[in-house]
Amino acid sequence: MGQNRWRLPASIMGIFLILCCWRTLSAASGSLLAESSFYPRLVRIAQGPARANGHILASTNGQIFESDDEGRSFFSLSTVPAAPGGKFRCCETLFEMPKDVGTLHAGTLLFAGTYDAGTDPAIEIFTSTDEGHHWTYNATPVSGRGEKGAGGLWEPEFLVARDQALVMFWSDETFVCCSQKLQKIRTFDGASWKDRSDVVASTSERDRPGMIVVRELPTGLYFMTYEICGDPANGCAVFYRTSRDGWNYGNASFLGKRIETADGKFFEHAPANIWAPSALSPNGVIVVIGQVLHNRDGSVAGDNGRVLFVNPLLDGSGPWQTVRAPVEVPNSYDNYCPNYSSALLSIDGGAGLLELASDYRALEKCATYFGSKSWTEMTKGR
């Protein structure tokens, strides 16, 4: 490139930047979570002491927040540290142990994410036994660059399976077979991790499954969502599969079933799910959120960033329905910030939902917003 490059005057350049990047300044509805960033997670304390039970904890990139009023306000609580020589990267999960698994007792909080451990990626786990006020390094179930000698380890997720093992899922880029695959590992004693194996591993090298979120339903079924990227026919669409025991999810080469409405709308990117009590069904509903909403033909839907999917059939079968999202991010697009991997939680005894969703609050400044709606508000005009 030559040195005498043509430049726009500063005033015109400023206008140009505002016009071309306007969507990054369109903040989500709801309230700004002060000092937050992105990739939010939510958990309700259920196994703690009486003074804390029912409180809600939120996290964004290692920052922990607490709410004692059903998510109507939050205050900063703590920061999860990194192990000596390590550095937190991203993609966390927040989990309360529902029962004892070896040395990990009911009520223990787990925080896990991607860390740089020297020059290698790692998924590290930290624990809190005082409802999130203080955190201690616990374990590194997986680390290193594997067969490729390159790639990362991302997006951990926990559950306690039917056999009482604590299971961790994650997205793994370190195998030569493929761009990325989804794996699992488990511990029965809370200390030693074993039985590493595949959950979703496509036979197509270009496919890139990622971002597992799994919840145990009242029926005892385990419901898992994830994205499948790489196939032009699906883009980065949201899929699901189920398990009766929390460990076995069928043939790993089976990509699962795409989640869509009766008229063919589907989510792309960064899905999450919960089960919630709801006025829509005596059995409650499965709720799914994704980053970008598309029509059947692949075009961006008019209610993109404004809706959730719900299903009263507690195996995920049949067409899904839409309801209004508690936090609306109307300009969601394929980017690490707006509406990316949002978090949901049932509140007010099942009368409504709390959502945490990220969006740009300023140019290149990503933050999380929180808000809630009753089921009446979410289904109004549906």
Q: Residue 7 above 50 pLDDT?
A: no
Q: What is the pLDDT of residues 56-111, one digit of tens each?
A: 999 999 999 999 999 999 999 999 999 888 899 999 999 999 999 999 999 999 99
What is the rounded CA–CA span in Å between residue 137 and residue 165?
20
Q: Output the six-digit token pair for 117.
A: 């451990």
Could you report the per-residue pLDDT of 115-162, keeping only the tens digit for each? 998 889 999 999 999 999 999 999 999 999 988 889 999 999 999 999
The percent of residues in the chain predicted with pLDDT above 70, rounded, is 92
Does residue 19 surpass a pLDDT of 80?
Answer: no
Contact by Cβ (8 Å): 37, 47: no
Give me the pLDDT at residue 35, please: 93
Q: What share of the chain is helix, strand, coil (3-state, %, to 5)?
A: 5, 45, 45
pLDDT band with cut points at 50, 70 and 90 for residue 204:
confident
Q: Taking the CB of residue 328, how many other CB atoms lie within 10 A of it?
A: 23
- What are the structural domain ranges in the chain? 259-382
C-alpha to C-alpha distances, 325 to 269, 302, 318, nearest whole angstrom: 17, 14, 21
Runs of H (alpha helix) within 33-128 = none
**How far apart are alpha carbons 341 and 171 in whole angstroms?**
14
Range with lowest mean pLDDT among 144-148, 186-190, 258-262, 280-284: 144-148
Q: How do residues 254-272 score in pLDDT, each as one tens digit? A: 999 999 999 999 999 999 9
Whole-structure pTM value: 0.92
Task: List phi, psi (to 5°) of 379.
Answer: -105, 5
Q: What is the pLDDT of residue 2?
A: 41
